[in-house]
Amino acid sequence: MDNRIWWKEAIVYQIYPRSFKDSNGDGIGDLRGIISKLDYIQSLGVDAVWLNPIYKSPNDDGGYDISDYYSVQPEFGRMEDFDDLLKGLHQRKLKLIMDLVLNHSSDEHPWFQESRKSKDNPHRDYYFWKPGKHGGPPNNWPSFFGGSAWEQDQPTGEYYLHLFSRKQPDLNWENPLLREELNKLMKFWLDKGVDGLRLDVISAISKQTDFPDTDTPDFNETIRKYYANGPRLKEFIKESKEKVWDHYDVMSVGEGPGITPQNAKDYLDEQDGLNMIFHFGHMFMDQGAGGRFDPIPWTMKDFKQVFKTWDDAFKEKGWGSVFLGNHDFPRMVSRWGNDRDYWEKSSKLLFTLLLTMRGTTFIFQGDEIGMTNTRLSAVSESKDIETQNGWREAQKKAITEKDFLKAANYAGRDNARTPMQWSDEPNGGFSQGKPWMNLNENTSDFNVEAEQHDSHSILNYFRQMTNFRKANRVLTYGSYQPLEALPDSLFLYFRESDKEKLLIVLNFSDQVTNLPDLVRPKISERLIGNYSDPGNTDNVRAWEAIVYRCKT
């Protein structure tokens, strides 16, 4: 593997700063808190950190509403703290991937404050303004956060577009002056030595500027057909690449809601595309037509198919990312595993998948110790605008709070945002002050401190698995060959290179099941697994994960 590429081999650890570690007792995680945990991060065996937005923001949407792209959110610290964090990461051979939100800004950004003043303001076309129609918004587009994607604004009386909250007006990439501003701010952060950019909702930056009505009530279909994959998307990505990214050794990963297996590789061209994207094939699989708070059952058959579909999409060209959770989704062990009877085994099984699948692995903070979903007992406890607005919309449909809470506790983003569980000290060692958000009630049961010293803990299995992935390059560059025609709960796949072949066996069920006869003769030795005793090759135990070396 002479053409080794760091971002293909990297294991990336995602940090949501507000909930990671508070250093000054105000109950809010901050940059110096992250600095205090750099040795822990390094001990995980990861190669890079993806930092959710740290820029000045009114925090309407967890920092994804930026009011100054050039300064650090005061609650998180100062620019010097950022510089110290970057230095601390680089000293430990860790790379930093920054999260940039370029599809929209905060409505408190000076650009928007100017833009809204008058129709002929020089900043007017930094955003999308349209007159209303028939006394209402210009079209029927729904916002990700409920209600219309248009907000009427005074003094001009026109409507502005906001695919997300009304405090997140969409930036008008049609305007070359605006694009120049965005290129400038990207260069500002890259000149500091940042190693990668995670580009928020990059799939939506090119709009269909005639703004046709959506013809479907299915929200995810509306995203795909109307918000994502706009006519100039490839052009805008190419321009940013040529004007900015190509001048740095920087990795670009685009967040791509609405991108499809058919068109993904169009955006990942070596010459003029992104390095990789996050797709949402599995993430939206259990969302009904009404989106996140309209959950529908998911099946292992579909789950396995998503991995095959997307691996096929990147077989010839492009590169995928592999994740099972982040700050926008419930905790992976609660969603895909069994966080009651097989919490430890299923957490470890999910890591075995993440760290043996083809594509760059992204791990969300806290998943390495098996953090689970939290439980809101009232919607008022939610700290997330998507849940709060979702409840506003649910009430219009006479949905009871009890029923809405069931959906929010299953699918809501609060699940991922409870503070990191460091120890059984007060507030889980996260803060000396009152945390901005309640910790999970199970913090004293399991936390970093407790797992650090337990050789069978999820945390230490995670460390074994990151080392295992890096010691076996076939897991990065090898082919992915899933076995078909198996019981739905049995997920088996080969990873093969010209030198070696591994078989990964994952039992996504509480039942013991047989290892299929066809694979048994191919096995030469068991390399790693989530049961401390090796068991036998006749069957696979409940939530058992095993990696075998195959005879070649």
Residues annotated catalytic, as ranges: 200, 255
**Residue 28 binds Ca ion, judged by CB under 5 A:** yes
Query: Closest distance between ligand TEU and the C-beta of residue 104, in Å?
Result: 7
**Residue 200 binds ligand TEU, judged by CB under 6 A:** yes
By rule CB under 6 A, what string of x and - marks binding of each residue 412-431 to ligand TEU?
-x------------------
Instruction: Give the total residue count for the chain.
Output: 552
Amino acid, res. 380 = S
**Residue 101 binds ligand TEU, judged by CB under 6 A:** yes
Q: Are strands 68-72 and 55-56 parallel, antiparallel or unpaired?
A: antiparallel
Taking CB under 5 A as the binding criterion, the range among 4-12, 19-27, 90-98, 274-282 that sits at the site for Ca ion is 19-27
Q: Which of 9, 26, 83, 125 binds Ca ion (CB under 5 A)?
A: 26
Q: What are φ and ψ of residue 473, in 5° steps?
A: -60, -20
Instruction: Tell me which H or E stretch contains 50.
Output: strand 48-51
By rule CB under 6 A, what string of x and - marks binding of each residue 492-511 to ligand TEU?
--------------------
In the bound state, the residue with its beta carbon closest to Ca ion is 30
Q: How far apart are CA 502 and CA 357, in angstroms?
A: 11
| Partner in contact with 144, chosen from Ca ion, ligand TEU, none, beta carbon below 5 to 8 Å by kind | ligand TEU
Q: Which of 20, 64, 211, 494 binds ligand TEU (CB under 6 A)?
A: 64
Q: How far apart are CA 545 and CA 240, in angstroms?
A: 42
| Partner in contact with 383, chosen from Ca ion, ligand TEU, none, beta carbon below 5 to 8 Å by kind | none
Give me the DSSP letters along 209-272. TT-PPP--S-HHHHIIIIISS-TTHHHHHHHHHHHTGGGTT-EEEEE-TT--TTTGGGG--TTT
Q: How far apart are CA 514 and CA 254, in angstroms?
A: 40
Contact 415, 407 (CB under 8 A): no
**Residue 22 binds Ca ion, judged by CB under 5 A:** yes
Taking CB under 6 A as the binding criterion, the range among 57-65, 211-219, 423-431, 486-494 that sits at the site for ligand TEU is 57-65
**Structure tokens given for 136:** 């209402």
Contact 189, 100 (CB under 8 A): yes
**Residue 201 binds ligand TEU, judged by CB under 6 A:** yes
| Partner in contact with 30, chosen from ligand TEU, Ca ion, none, beta carbon below 5 to 8 Å by kind | Ca ion
Picking from 83, 540, 488, the residue whose alpha carbon sits closest to that of residue 305 is 488
- Nearer Cβ to ligand TEU (106/513): 106
Contact 23, 36 (CB under 8 A): yes
Taking CB under 6 A as the binding criterion, the range among 61-69, 454-462, 511-519, 541-549 that sits at the site for ligand TEU is 61-69
Direct distance between the N- and C-terminal alpha carbons of the chain, in angstroms, rounded to an integer: 19
| Partner in contact with 255, chosen from Ca ion, ligand TEU, none, beta carbon below 5 to 8 Å by kind | ligand TEU
Q: How far apart are CA 428 and CA 431, in angstroms?
A: 8
Query: Closest distance between ligand TEU and the C-beta of residue 471, in Å?
Result: 32
Distances (CA, A) of 175 to 70, 130, 191: 21, 15, 24
Q: How far apart are CA 82 and CA 34, in angstroms?
A: 10
Contact 245, 198 (CB under 8 A): no
| Partner in contact with 61, chosen from ligand TEU, Ca ion, none, beta carbon below 5 to 8 Å by kind | ligand TEU
Taking CB under 5 A as the binding criterion, the range among 14-22, 316-324, 441-449, 461-469 that sits at the site for Ca ion is 14-22
By rule CB under 6 A, what string of x and - marks binding of each residue 325-354 to ligand TEU?
--xx--------------------------
- Nearer Cβ to Ca ion (26/68): 26
Q: How far apart are CA 206 and CA 203, in angstroms?
A: 8
User: 21 burial class (0-12, 13-18, 19+ CB within 10 angstroms)?
Assistant: buried
Contact 371, 321 (CB under 8 A): no
**Residue 257 binds ligand TEU, judged by CB under 6 A:** yes
Query: Closest distance between Ca ion and the C-beta of residue 288, in Å?
Result: 38
Amino acid, res. 82 = F
Contact 480, 470 (CB under 8 A): no
Query: Closest distance between Ca ion and the C-beta of residue 76, in Å?
Result: 8
**Residue 164 binds ligand TEU, judged by CB under 6 A:** yes
**Residue 386 binds ligand TEU, judged by CB under 6 A:** yes
| Partner in contact with 390, chosen from Ca ion, ligand TEU, none, beta carbon below 5 to 8 Å by kind | none
Sequence-ordered strand ranges (E) for 298-397: 321-322, 360-364
Reported for 118-122, long-range contacts at CB under 8 A and 24+ positions apart, including other chains, are: 118/155, 118/156, 119/156, 119/158
**Residue 24 binds Ca ion, judged by CB under 5 A:** yes
Taking CB under 6 A as the binding criterion, the range among 60-68, 420-428, 474-482, 521-529 that sits at the site for ligand TEU is 60-68
Taking CB under 6 A as the binding criterion, the range among 27-35, 59-67, 77-85, 503-511 that sits at the site for ligand TEU is 59-67
Contact 393, 290 (CB under 8 A): no
Q: Which of 30, 61, 286, 311 binds ligand TEU (CB under 6 A)?
A: 61
**Residue 30 binds Ca ion, judged by CB under 5 A:** yes
- Nearer Cβ to ligand TEU (164/310): 164
**Residue 255 binds ligand TEU, judged by CB under 6 A:** yes
Contact 254, 202 (CB under 8 A): yes
- Nearer Cβ to ligand TEU (85/171): 171
Which residues of the chain form contacts with ligand TEU (CB under 6 A)? 61-62, 64, 101, 144, 164, 200-201, 255, 257, 292, 327-328, 386, 413
Which residues of the chain form contacts with Ca ion (CB under 5 A)? 22, 24, 26, 28, 30
